[in-house]
Structure 1
């Protein structure tokens, strides 16, 4: 289990673990091992796989091309779909208007459930309302913590980005950073803004916001490099995604500074970078768990009327810090592409 350095954060993983365990327990009740007949519903299933009627679930995210974070979310969703006898339709677009169209496509296909990210909730408000009006259950994941209930979603699985940012700021105080460049790779994404705002709230030093185009890595590298050359007093680069962090490491080298890099979110290469010491630490929001729980929750609702969080509270999957002290434990899972 990863170490937490923020008092509220220490309580998050146990809560999520309980929720996940409950979900798996109910799933186990829906079928019986060895293909035996269930006393509850008379259905027959192979061990570890639901025998409930086939469902179709659409997952629509704001994934940008090449962002490996979402590969982990998708793996979690696919694992739940395989267990629950669900046909999963995954689609993504970082453009909010296009993402809205993808949700409309899911509605037109009359899917049994929709899992959606709300990075830009205003752009999705109308189409989510259409899904709800059509009687399609909708759950949120990853982005939209402050908006999911307002938009009529049943449940939400993700990280409180403000809490994560505040924990990050405190961690930087411990490491001795003084002047931070917080790099936002997508303007208008409320979750990213909340992260940097959280850092500013608790960090005792200076925080500068730097906007980059996250879909163009050469541009990201040159923009960060230019900023570091322009202000040599920056001693810490904070990024909000693993690919941006890895690019920032090269920018630090190009600029010839001694600035350190820390980030939100993980992938396999980022875990390796922490092991090597080129990245100080990362905040893990457990994207595999987000994808898994979002899909599994729709199966639970369809087949047992369950609401994770009682339909009122989000199920928090982070934040957790990964650094030199615990990265080796995480690395084994990262190698499988699930962390």
Structure 2
């Protein structure tokens, strides 16, 4: 998939500069953090716009560093004041969206991983004439909730792609690890994998607690030696799976969604077969820039369709090129 639908010279330029090959999100459950950012190429706030970004980030999950890095760079480039906040608890994320509405920001970018729980607060934004764009999660729900645009990966397609690849490699009994209950993105990934690799079994773990993830997977792998692939849906969970696999004496191969510097190194070393990247940096960048262009010019990025930033396979054939960018939070 490509970013060919992206309109606007500024967005096209950044995509070219980044030279990023295209590719959900990584979820969990810890505490809220808040960050106000601006500055850089243009003076912070020089555009006159304040944009709020609200996500379901689990603090400590490196995936979100890339989302924020992209959003902050866009804010600098456009002279936007960026207000970032997050909470993995759906009801608390809804409160953060409502807080942004009450503070009269000019635009809101939000993840929609639990769309039903966020519908009321998103409606409050649209009722207040505040434009909303979705990113990272909620590709099938964003228009129903009233969001104007969406930037992310089609998680069903991504899951199916993973399933097809491991099925072609001989997978008979993959284990798909869901690390946040109720996440539509994670469920779509596992459902896609199962559609292509029918022997896929799901397991629920507590993504907020790495030691719990490791022990749960270790017990499962020790109990069932027929598991031949472990599909993790976030880079930190893949690291937990590698520990569990070794402790259980399992020969299962590990594949994952999403990327960080550690997992990129594991791919290069051959310990992780491949990663499916959705380019979170691009998601963060385009979410902020699209709102800026909408507010300034009335631009509609994507023409009423989601802008796809993935999926893309990262494996031994391209890891040498991609690895350096993982260390700067741009890939």
Q: Is the 8 A contact 1:20 1:293 kept in 2?
A: no
Partner of 2:183: 189
d(CA) in 1 for partners of 2:147, 2:275: 30
* TM-score normalised by L of structure 1: 0.87
Q: Give matches, 1:1-339, under 5 Å.
A: 12-15=1-4, 18-19=6-7, 21=9, 23-24=11-12, 49=42, 53-203=47-197, 205-310=198-303, 312-339=304-331
d(CA) in 2 for partners of 1:69, 1:318: 15
d(CA) in 2 for partners of 1:54, 1:14: 28
SS at match of 1:13: coil
- What count of residue pairs does the alignment treat as equivalent? 305
SS at match of 1:119: coil
Q: Is the 8 A contact 1:76 1:288 kept in 2?
A: yes
d(CA) in 2 for partners of 1:138, 1:155: 8
Q: Is the 8 A contact 2:41 2:79 kept in 1?
A: no
Indicate how the Cα distance of structure 1 residues 229 and 282 shifts in structure 2: closer, same or farther if over 3 A, else same: same
Deviation at 1:338, TM superposition (A): 1.2
d(CA) in 1 for partners of 2:249, 2:13: 54
Q: Is the 8 A contact 1:23 1:300 kept in 2?
A: no
Q: Is the 8 A contact 1:272 1:331 kept in 2?
A: yes
Q: Which has the higher contact order (CA 8 A, sep 6+)?
A: 2
Indicate how the Cα distance of structure 1 residues 259 and 19 shifts in structure 2: closer, same or farther if over 3 A, else same: farther
Indicate how the Cα distance of structure 1 residues 53 and 21 shifts in structure 2: closer, same or farther if over 3 A, else same: closer
Deviation at 1:65, TM superposition (A): 2.0
- From the CA coordinates, give the structure whose radius of gyration is larger: 1
d(CA) in 2 for partners of 1:234, 1:308: 43
Q: Is the 8 A contact 1:180 1:235 kept in 2?
A: yes
Q: Is the 8 A contact 2:273 2:315 kept in 1?
A: yes
d(CA) in 2 for partners of 1:21, 1:315: 16
Deviation at 1:49, TM superposition (A): 4.2
* TM-score normalised by L of structure 2: 0.89
> RMSD between aligned alpha carbons?
1.7
Q: Is the 8 A contact 1:65 1:215 kept in 2?
A: no
* Structure 1 unaligned residues grouped into runs of 5+: 1-11, 27-46
What do the CA deviations read for 1:31-75 (whole angstroms, capped 9, x no partner)? Answer: xxxxxxxxxxxxxxxx96489632111000001121110110000
Indicate how the Cα distance of structure 1 residues 324 and 21 shifts in structure 2: closer, same or farther if over 3 A, else same: farther
